[in-house]
């Protein structure tokens, strides 16, 4: 009887240990994408579903997303994302984020969206400009969901 009680305490303890380690949250370490980088994953998903305060992702991203080629079936590597105060690349260039070898871009640096910033995506032969401003850097929350995937060429 006593042994059974002790055994069930041990069983409960190990279950609790497993639950606690599965709930481990990713910390907010600095992560910024760079040309040629290969550490990212989950192309097309909204990175900030996980890479946020309390989320499981490693690093809390303030801007992140995925760029595709013109057919929108393959990702487009090593492009450049920029955030301007004016439309069509006008105003002040506030932030530049490089797309990695997997077509993903991400940064944990603080981003001040102010009253809204205009994004652009540059490939080797073209630059595409978003006509409206954004107040969130969760590019894949709209692109590939409620509007076209981000793309360039
Ligand atoms: C379903 C949750 C989830 C989504 C969505 C997600 N990630 Fe992650 N990410 C993680 C977890 C968990 C880790 C830490 C373990 C690992 O490296 O796989 C991580 C780690 C990373 C790392 C760090 C790898 C390293 O070795 O330093 C990068 C970079 C990254 N993710 C980029 C992205 C990008 C970009 C997106 C969106 C296109 C994204 N992640 C979407 C969960 C996610
Ligand atoms: C709230 C939803 C939303 C978010 C967030 C968003 N976009 Fe957009 N984006 C749109 C919509 C809708 C369009 C199409 C109309 C337009 O250009 O304004 C668009 C268009 C674009 C275009 C032009 C596409 C083309 O084919 O010419 C680019 C480039 C772009 N977005 C980049 C970005 C980047 C980079 C981010 C993240 C930093 C981002 N967008 C975040 C909704 C969003």
Instruction: Say what percent of the chain tops pLDDT 70.
Output: 84
Q: Which two tokens stand for residue 11?
A: 């069983």
Query: Is any ligand 2 atom within 6 A of the Cβ of residue 134?
Result: yes
Of 48, 50, 64, 44, the residue nearest 148 (C-alpha): 44
Number of Cβ atoms within 10 Å of the Cβ of 138: 19
pLDDT at 5 over 90: no
Mutation choice for ligand 1 from 22, 27, 40, CB with most ligand atoms inside 8 A: 40
What is the length of the chain? 153
Alpha-carbon gap, residue 117 to 107, rounded angstroms: 16
Mutation choice for ligand 2 from 33, 72, 130, 139, CB with most ligand atoms inside 8 A: 130
The pLDDT tens digits for 66-122 are 999 999 999 999 999 999 999 999 999 999 999 999 999 999 999 999 999 999 999
pLDDT at 91: 98
pLDDT at 137 over 50: yes
pLDDT band at 3 (very low <50, low <70, confident <90, very high): low
pLDDT at 27: 87
pLDDT at 24 over 70: no
- Among 10-19, 107-116, 126-135, the range scoring the smallest mean pLDDT is 10-19
The pLDDT tens digits for 26-50 are 889 999 999 999 999 999 999 999 9
Distance 16 CA to ligand 2 centre (A): 44
CA distances from 44 to 25, 67, 102, 112 (A): 22, 8, 11, 24
């Amino acid at each position: 009887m006593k042994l059974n009680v002790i055994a069930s305490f041990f069983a409960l303890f190990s279950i609790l240990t497993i639950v606690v380690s599965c709930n481990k949250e990713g910390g907010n370490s600095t992560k910024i994408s760079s040309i040629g980088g290969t550490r990212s994953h989950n192309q097309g998903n909204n990175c900030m579903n996980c890479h946020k305060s309390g989320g499981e992702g490693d690093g809390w991203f303030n801007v992140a997303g995925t760029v595709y080629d013109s057919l929108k079936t393959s990702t487009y590597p090593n492009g450049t994302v920029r955030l301007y105060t004016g439309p069509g690349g006008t105003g002040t260039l506030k932030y530049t984020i490089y797309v990695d070898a997997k077509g993903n871009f991400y940064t944990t640096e603080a981003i001040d969206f102010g009253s809204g910033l205009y994004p652009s995506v540059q490939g080797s032969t073209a630059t595409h400009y978003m006509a409206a401003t954004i107040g969130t850097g969760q590019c894949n929350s709209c692109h590939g969901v409620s509007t076209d995937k981000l793309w360039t060429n």
